[in-house]
Amino acid sequence: MGENAAPARKSPLPIQPRRCASRSRGGVRDRVGPPIRVSTCIARDPRHAACTVTRRVASGTCGGVSMKLLNRKWWSRIGLGLLGALVVIQLVPYGREHTNPPVTGEPTWDAPETRALARRACFDCHSNETQWPAYAAIAPISWLVQHDVDEGRAVLNFSEWSRPQPEAKDASEEVREGEMPPAAYALIHAHARLSSSDRDRLSQGLARSVGMAAKQ
């Protein structure tokens, strides 16, 4: 061969095909499993060290990342569903009749202090002088508030004393035992929280003002 002849190129090393073994909980299988199956591929290329690649068989993406994205999608859908339901239930008319009928008569209070304590702890649900909070216009909370006020006025209404009051005789005992005002109501209404001395004074005052009238 002449001096100007080009040097012969070295042929590249042959690339061996990869062997993919699908692994599942039941063991190693040769066929490709479902999309979530994790596979281990061992490269037979002598120019590279053996490598282990964990991948998603069907889409070629990492299984862990795919599950995270899937979870995010589901949480997003759940959040949108709850938001949509919250908007829809605002159309329900119940819970929006925030009316205070006129006061037709009150019991004969034994002392102004008794009425002041009753106004703090009882009047929102047991009178026609309800102070409707802003959250009382948002369903489903508005449903609970409306129910409590309607039920409270039906059994004991300090603003309509001329009509029968089914629970007037029990009012003093319920206050003394801590059943009234309800703990949930007092938790979010600081003005309704009674100290031990206030509770005793209100209980005794109701017994003289309301309990005696109920027995007559």
| pLDDT tier, 84 (very low <50, low <70, confident <90, very high otherwise) | confident
Q: What is the DSSP-derived secondary structure letter of residue 190?
A: G
pLDDT of residue 182: 93
The enclosing H or E element of 19 equals strand 19-24
Instruction: Report the alpha-carbon distance of residue 21 to residue 26 in Å, rounded.
Output: 13
Averaged pLDDT for residues 58-85: 72
- Alpha helical stretches, state H, the chain: 63-89, 112-121, 123-126, 141-155, 171-176, 183-188, 196-206, 212-215
Rounded Cα distance, 96 and 149, in Å = 12
What are the structural domain ranges in the chain? 19-60, 112-215
pLDDT, tens digit, 9 for 90 and up, residues 89-126: 788 888 888 889 999 999 999 999 999 999 999 999 99
